[in-house]
């Protein structure tokens, strides 16, 4: 079933920089897609346009039957509860505990006052504990986030996204700041979330070998344009060179 439709999506920044140029693709429920491309290709802009952290200049985005670009502030807040976001640099509040950071994922469901005072019911807390257990973080529940490793922080970020009960999770370079071992743990968790929970995942990745290993489908972007959209196992070296240009020679493909 179709979950996301992107048509003629373009984004032009002040000064005339075209970050995205006429991007078109659709995503079905349950897909696990990696978006690859060189630095500055427009990968992060694409993800941020989907949940309107950035407003597109032109085009259409339809998520779960709703036209995203036409939503007012209150409607957009409601939509974002169904789209989880995982960031490269975690976006955690370091002075707060793991459980407090995870429960921040419920803020989209709260009134302003409930959000300010941090009111959460027992069901939400039980869900948070269950997610942390699933991600191997039960022993870190009450630690401050500034006491965690990078890999642990990213798992907290995943937990915060999951407690929203999203239909789609967007991951913006989720392993770029991590060592290979922590990267594998994060990718394994994301794949399990996709398979076991049926949550659609779109990831920005710079590591082509990781994208090929974990994804069924890959979208390649260069200079804001889609230059590949197809099965991961059909991504040839010729296509990789087309996506990455002069950077292609630096990539290691296993």
Whole-angstrom distance, CA of residue 19 vs CA of residue 144: 37
pLDDT score recorded for residue 123: 87
Beta strand 32-36 with 83-86: parallel, antiparallel or unpaired? unpaired
Neighbours of 10 (CB within 10 A): 16
Task: From residue 194, give the alpha-carbon distance in Å to each of 26, 90, 191, 202, 229.
Answer: 17, 20, 5, 10, 20
pTM: 0.92
Residues 70-87: b if buried by 16+ CB within 10 A, e if exposed? ebeeeeeeebbbbbbbbb
Asked if the model's pLDDT at residue 110 lies above 80, the reply is no
pLDDT score recorded for residue 202: 98
Closest CA to 192 of 136, 139, 153, 150: 136
Task: From residue 145, give the alpha-carbon distance in Å to each of 34, 102, 116, 148.
Answer: 28, 11, 20, 5
Question: Picking from 107-111, 114-118, 171-175, 181-185, which range would have the lowest pLDDT averaged per residue?
Answer: 114-118
Closest CA to 103 of 67, 68, 145, 54: 145
Q: Could you tell me if residue 158 is left (phi over 0), alpha (psi between -120 and 50 degrees) or otherwise beta? A: alpha
Tens digits of residue pLDDT in 147-179: 999 999 999 999 999 999 999 999 999 999 899
Question: Picking from 2-6, 157-161, 204-208, which range would have the lowest pLDDT averaged per residue?
Answer: 204-208
Q: Which pLDDT band holds residue 120 (cuts at 50, 70, 90)?
A: confident
Return the bridge partners of 85, or none: 170
Tens digits of residue pLDDT in 11-62: 999 888 899 999 999 999 999 999 999 988 999 999 999 999 999 999 999 9
Whole-angstrom distance, CA of residue 155 vs CA of residue 185: 9
Whole-angstrom distance, CA of residue 154 vs CA of residue 160: 10
Q: Which class does domain 1-82+167-254 fall in?
A: alpha beta
Q: Would you list the domain boundaries of the chain?
A: 1-82+167-254, 91-165
How many degrees, rounded to 5, is the angle at CA 15 between CA 9 and CA 18?
25
């Amino acid at each position: 079933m179709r979950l996301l439709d992107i048509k003629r999506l373009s984004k032009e920044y002040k000064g005339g920089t075209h970050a995205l140029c006429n991007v078109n693709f659709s995503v079905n429920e349950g897909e696990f897609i990696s978006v690859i491309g060189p630095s500055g290709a427009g990968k992060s802009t694409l993800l941020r346009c989907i949940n309107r952290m950035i407003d597109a200049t032109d085009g259409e985005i339809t998520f779960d039957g709703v036209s995203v670009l036409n939503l007012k502030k209150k409607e957009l807040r409601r939509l974002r509860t169904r789209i989880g976001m995982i960031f490269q640099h975690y976006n955690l509040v370091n002075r707060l505990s793991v459980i407090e950071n995870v429960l921040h994922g419920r803020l989209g469901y709260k009134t302003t006052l409930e959000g300010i005072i941090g009111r959460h019911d027992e069901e939400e807390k039980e869900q948070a504990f269950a997610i942390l257990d699933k991600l191997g973080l039960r022993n870190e529940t009450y630690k401050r986030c500034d006491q965690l490793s990078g890999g642990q922080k990213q798992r907290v970020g995943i937990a915060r996204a999951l407690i929203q009960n999203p239909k789609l999770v967007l991951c913006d370079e989720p392993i770029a700041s991590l060592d290979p071992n922590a990267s594998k743990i994060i990718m394994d968790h994301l794949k399990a979330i996709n398979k076991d929970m049926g949550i659609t995942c779109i990831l920005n990745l710079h590591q082509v070998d990781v994208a090929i290993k974990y994804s069924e489908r890959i979208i390649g972007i260069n200079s804001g344009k889609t230059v590949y959209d197809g099965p991961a196992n059909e991504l040839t070296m010729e296509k990789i060179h087309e996506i990455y240009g002069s950077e292609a020679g630096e990539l290691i493909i296993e």
